[in-house]
Amino acid sequence: MTCRLSTVAVCQCMTKVKVQLFPDIVDANDDVPLGTEGWDNWPGWGEETDEASKNASKKASQNDWLHACLVSLSPCGDLMAISRNDRAMLLKAKYEDQGGNGSGVGYEIIKELYDAEEKAKISSIMCLPLASHNKTSYGAQDWTCVIIGFTSGYVKIYTETGVLLLSQLLHEDPVLKLKCRTHETHRYVGIADQVEELTILYPKALVVVDGFSLYQTLRACRNQVARAAAGGSELMTPPPLAYKKWGLQEQDIVYDFVSCGVTSTNAFDQLCSSSLLGGYGASTKTSTSATYLYVTTGVGPYTGFFYAAEGSSQPMLSEVALNMASKLKTAFINQMSSTGSKYLGGWLGQSVKPNKEETRPKIEPPTPLHIKFGLPDLRRHGETLSLSPNGNLAATTDDFGRVILIDIGRGIVVRVWKGYRDAQVGWIKVKDSSESQRKLKKAARVAIFLVIYAPKRGILEVWALQQGPKVAAFNVSKNAKLLYPGYGVLGLGSTVSEEIITHQCSLIDADGAIRTLIVPFHLALSDKNSRRARDLQLLNELKGLLKEHKCDSCELQQDVLSKLRAVKAASIVQQGLERVLSTRYLEPATMQEIVGCILAQINSHEIQPGAVEEKILHHFCQLYQQLLHTYRDVCALKGEPPSLEAASTGDSMSLAVLLNTTEADVENIEQSLSEYRASSVRDRVRFADATDMEVGKFFACFHGNPSSQDSVNVERLTIRLNGELQDDKRLSLGAFLFGPVLAGNYSSSKLLVVLKASGILPENFFSLLLHYWLSKDDWQVGATNLYSMVKDLSIWQGENKTNDSATWWQTMRTRCSVSTCISSASIAALVGQSVSALLNCNGHSSEQSECEKSDAAEKPSEKISESEWLDLSSDAEQWRYLVRQLQDLLLLGSVFKSQPVMEESAEKTGFGDILLSVDSMLFGGRGAITDLVARWIGKVGITAKAVSMALRSDIDLSIDSDEAMHTDESLDELAGKSAADDDMHVNTCKAQLRKLVMHFPHSVSHDSVLSNCCWEYAVCWNKDPEMVGLLQQSLQFLKLIKNGILQHGVAAMLWHTFVLQKFEATARLMEKVKKSPKASLCRKEIGMTDTALRDMMAQCCSLLDIIMQADVEAEEIPVYGVIEEPWMSCQGPVPLVELVIDQRLCYYAPVSLHYQLAVVLHAILTYTLKSVKPLSLYHAKEASCFFKDLQSLLVLVTNVNIGARTEFLKKLITAAVTALPLPVSSTSVGSEQVESYDVTDVGTPSTSTTDNTSALTNAAAKQEILNVVEMSHWCSKAIELGLEWQGINVDSLRMHYVCELYSSGYDKLAEEVL
């Protein structure tokens, strides 16, 4: 980036401002046009009249009227003030539409300030922004005040709308200058922060107003003005200002000054000063005192340095403070009386008539401040003085047209510029925002530039300091004015470190254009004659040129070439070429022309041995020349019409010859692929592959590592694929290169010619081809085009010998193994198997012919050929295994992606799509197929009964003879049948499972699949305990396992892995609360609601009952671990059935003990029994065995807590019977059915009830029967517990049961129990 002058705002109302400030100037329309005057119109030449001289002076005043005005622009750019004589115009910034150029910043007049009572002229003006201290906008700009100094000595402060806030007379002389100093954060530790202050210069005095006092006073005055405007009350007298007044001594005339803030001299300077003043024996202080430094410019001396010791002068209060004290005294003494109404009325807001004969306030005398030293120059008169942002330098102008740079710390002149009459100076501070500086995480470097505006010459220059060159120069108008505020926002303090100054140094023209300078940091580091700086300048111009244009053109190409040829440094040329190659709108032909021209320029001369950068540039151009040739050639192939040579033949005989197999095998493969693709069909939107690619993205896919070595072959450099290339970009590149070939638009031989000339390695193209082919599963093209492309690339690889053939084919097998697109991987494996066999056979035959021609002394070569035949058979065996594995996965994929028709469905596990790959199966262990089948069953939601019936080998569930005849038919003939037959015979869950059983007889066995289904449902329930139906479905699968040992082991693992922890938490929680816990407490402690907890406890009873009922003694240990042949080399976790078999058998006693506790807990949760502690019903020895392994021995203790147990059982019976509704009246049909219900057989109605079940039409009677069944179940459970708990009188429980039935009105049921 170069230094530039940017327009930030345009003031459209400058004509109105000129008319208001200069009413005596003749309008421009009535004046003589510029450029028509000749030599005769000059004063003193020819026939000049007085009227012509008058018109010329008026025209000159029209052009340079801005020089006669005082202009102040706020550092934030929101307010601008222009004044002349006794008038001032306030202009406020606004956003306005600039036509086609968009929106910009403009200014409008909001107020004209004119004080009729103040018979004085404006001598200085300032726009000072104030910071906000609100919480929401802390540190931002709040509002802007306007400070005006008059020749009468008054200083008045206005709001941005022109409302007077404060008017004070601090000195009786005219105000010369107004300057402000705001807070600035220092870059180094140990330097004191400068205080904020407002300084006012008079001819012989300097008034310093404290910044904090000024900020608080202005805020108070503004708030009072707002309240007065809202309430209609009169304004109060503003609070006083704290200030210091210094009398500048020993300088004849002072025109300008700067306040340098707090400074401290070092010990050596203090010692030198003391020795010069006091002699050899002078004493010095141990610590130096802080002083305030003020530097002035004027006459006698030219520049003066004044040091004011801190604390040498007490802050003064103005006459306002005395008036305020008088008002307070009067208010308290007279207590709201009429005495002192002159002051009291103003204090209380009453109307008081002002005194017409008001006297001027009392002026305090200044404190004398003697000059310490100066820069004397009798002939030179200083005019202006400006301080740099860091406070170390100052620039002064004089009447000799010189600009002098002064070092403030040393008090010496360091540089002088001549020939700048009436110059105006400013400063620009630039921070280093480069990436290298940000990585250091340190304070940013800062550069200071001096800006000099020479209106006589119409030039604006930027100089690097201190002895730096001129970094920029601009031709500007001679009637402009340079604006440098030199301050920021008042009231920020040290809490806000970010600068919000937007206008450091601006140039305003008479036509209203406001421009600001933008200087890059690197200009402070370069020299004027530096070749690298010149090259950087050309590089920035090139970047700007490419940014300005939006489309390619011949003129742009010539401009880019001219700038690149003008650059001398090779590294900069390479940066420019990188920018050109990354421009999106440039055509590849243009890029190739530019790169070719630069390459020809390099080849036109001999490269020196030590020119490393030039060699790297040479290789860089050659690399991109190769890539551009490849890109354009591929695009040219796409533009050709499709050739008949590339047409794909898809008949079985051709494929059989191509794949080196039989026609029957090809038909079987096609049938498997068609079944797989038919099951994968979904109603979704499909988009065509994007075979076009931008040239910039094409470049990003490769890298070439340009080298400076002379041994590198420049004619064709090696290019490699970018290893960090993302998958989407890799797919785009594959589609760009191989998409048309696979689609059959042109032959692979044409593309191979282009690829060979590119310099890119063949293994990179092979990797792209495989990645693109294996990226999707819905290819609509055959294997012929893929076969041709793989064959051509393999032959090319064999010619180059860049890689071993074994590694080449192993890469292809690995890519097919990890791919989840099974159909594409199967086709690729068949193609790879055929091509590798063909090339190996050709290679072996050629070697054999060479051996026959060799001499007989070379017989050891026969042994070498035998080893090669062994390698060939090993490679063929790997291909055979891979093809068989992929065919197995095709069958699994077709089943897993199908949606079978089911008469009854169960709970679904919610698994997503099952992704298959050979690699995942090989590392999934010997039980991977069983696990995937179980996961698919849970995903589809097949019931346990349906799965068991489909997998059992003792029942003939195969398709009948008619259907078996159809299994040998093709899918095309099956598709012609009716939809009902298709759903019944092909897509039923039983047919799909039987298909898996026939193909995987070992992996998809009955007990193995049921065990894995049970485990999968339990895992899903553990993730979401609220879904107790998943646990119930898991137990349904568990019940149907035929082998007792396997059933027992799975149940024991379920108990210890998933159920035991929640079972223990439930028991301990109910022991603590002595009742059924509420829903909130259950959710907090156990993680499920009370309803889900009750259902879970019922499943716990079922699980423990299965463990007890498992016949482990009658069953032999099953033999598992056998797997199908293609998957015998798999590795990974141990199958579930093997883990289950290794489980130890559970003892009956601990299982029975936990079963009893589960029944107790379930009963409490069902009937919300209270005052029951379930664990207290057992002996301490028994209670200590709870929640431990079921494989540990346990001796049951009898006759324990008989009273508590009997009370609990009776309470359970009472709750069960009480839960029954009142019996239906005898007139209804259902009453006889209920009373004749046989409760002796739990859960089974009597014969009479069963015969008449179909006659029940009353819903209430049916519900009553269900309630009776549940009641009978729980009462039977209570009696069973009484029998298991030895020592309990079971007859008393039955008697209690009968009494409860009689009490509830179920007399018939009571009689049957008796």
Taking 60 as the threshold, does the pLDDT of residue 897 lie above it?
A: yes
Comparing CA positions, the residue from 681, 679, 677, 673 lying closest to residue 887 is 673
What is the band of 71 on the pLDDT scale with cuts at 50, 70, 90?
very high
How far apart (Å, rounded) are the C-alpha atoms in residues 1262 and 968?
52
pLDDT tens readout for residues 1035-1066 = 999 999 988 888 999 999 999 999 999 999 99
pLDDT digit string, tens, across residues 945-965 = 989 988 875 444 333 333 333
Structure tokens at 203: 């001819």
pLDDT tens digit sequence for 1058-1072 = 999 999 999 999 999
Whether 1231 has a pLDDT exceeding 50, the answer reads: no
The structure's pTM equals: 0.60
Query: Which residues, other chains included, contact 564 with Cβ-Cβ below 8 Å and sequence gap of 6+?
Result: 542, 573, 576, 577, 580, 594, 597, 598
Mean pLDDT computed over 1005-1023: 92
Q: Which pLDDT does position 232 carry in this prediction? A: 65
Reported as a pLDDT band with limits 50, 70 and 90, residue 982 is very low
Q: 416 pLDDT exceeds 50?
A: yes
Mean pLDDT of 726-736: 89
Could you tell me the pLDDT band of residue 740, with boundaries at 50, 70 and 90?
confident
Higher-confidence residue of 1125 and 859: namely 1125
Most confident of 132-146, 451-465, 647-661: 451-465
Q: What is the mean pLDDT of residues 404-431?
A: 92
Q: Among 300-304, 956-960, 1164-1168, whose mean pLDDT is lowest?
A: 956-960
Q: What is the pLDDT of residue 893?
A: 87
Strand pairing report for 154-158 and 164-169: antiparallel
pLDDT at 34 over 50: no
Confidence of residue 1261 (pLDDT cuts 50, 70, 90): low
Q: How is 1163-1225 classified by DSSP, letter by letter?
A: HHHHHT-BS--GGGGS-HHHHHTTTS-TTS---PPPS-SHHHHHHHHHHHHHHHHHTSPPPPP
Q: Pick 837 or 715 by higher pLDDT.
A: 837
Instruction: Tell me what percent of the residues of the chain surpass a pLDDT of 90.
Output: 24
pLDDT at 1205: 87
What mean pLDDT comes out for the span 552-558? 89
Mean pLDDT of 1265-1278: 86
3-state secondary structure 1268-1288: HHHHHHHHHHHHHHHHHCCCC
- Does residue 862 carry a pLDDT above 70? no
Mean residue pLDDT across the chain: 78
Q: Identify the pLDDT of residue 382.
A: 93
Residue 779 pLDDT > 80: no
For residue 544, pLDDT over 90 is answered with: no
Where is 126: in which H helix or E strand? strand 122-131
Is 50 exceeded by the pLDDT of residue 1230? Answer: no
User: Which has more confidence, 1212 or 526?
Assistant: 1212
Give the phi and the psi of residue 191 in degrees, each rounded to 5: -90, 130
pLDDT tens digits, 581-627: 999 999 999 999 999 999 999 888 888 877 888 888 888 898 999 99
Phi and psi based region of residue 685 (left: phi greater than 0; alpha: psi -120 to 50; beta: remaining): beta
Least confident of 10-19, 303-312, 936-945, 956-965: 956-965
pLDDT surpasses 50 at 653: yes
Q: How confident is the model at residue 295 (pLDDT cuts 50, 70, 90)?
A: very high
For the stretch 334-374, pLDDT in tens is 433 333 333 333 333 333 344 444 456 678 889 999 998 89
Residue 65: per-residue pLDDT: 87
pLDDT digits (tens, 9 = 90+) for 915-924: 889 999 889 8
> Among 275-279, 611-615, 781-785, 1087-1091, whose mean pLDDT is lowest?
781-785
Instruction: Report residue 1141 as tokens.
Output: 């078999």
Are the C-beta atoms of 297 and 385 separated by less than 8 Å?
A: yes
- Work out the percent of the chain whose per-residue pLDDT is above 70: 75
